[in-house]
Amino acid sequence: MNDAPQLEPDMALFLDFDGTLTELAPRPEEVQVASDVVSSLQQLQTRLDGAVAVISGRPIAQIDDFLAPLHLPAAGLHGL
């Protein structure tokens, strides 16, 4: 039985970067994005008509660098 929620076209996803899209790393510069993350995010962005955003405590420019060439709406430096 698959209990995963089904994505509907009228939904939006707000995804945390560290610990959700990437593994936590001992130091910020050691973060590595798995090879399939960007392509998966691109597919989600298409399926949800662009309603995918990244939330992070990092500056948005860092998120853009990690997810290049993909640029998603983002909220950075939360928790400050």
What does the domain layout of the chain look like in residue ranges? 13-24+33-75
* Amino acid, single-letter form, for residue 9: P
Q: Is 16 a catalytic residue?
A: yes
pLDDT of residue 26: 87
Q: What is the pLDDT of residue 53?
A: 96
* Sign, Cα dihedral of 69, 74, 79, 80: positive
Coil, strand, or helix at residue 53? strand
**Tens-digit pLDDT profile for residues 60-73:** 999 999 999 999 99
- Span 5-52, pLDDT tens digits: 787 878 899 999 999 999 988 888 899 999 899 999 999 999 899 999
- Considering the candidates 3, 16, 64, 65, report the single residue annotated as catalytic: 16
pLDDT of 7: 78
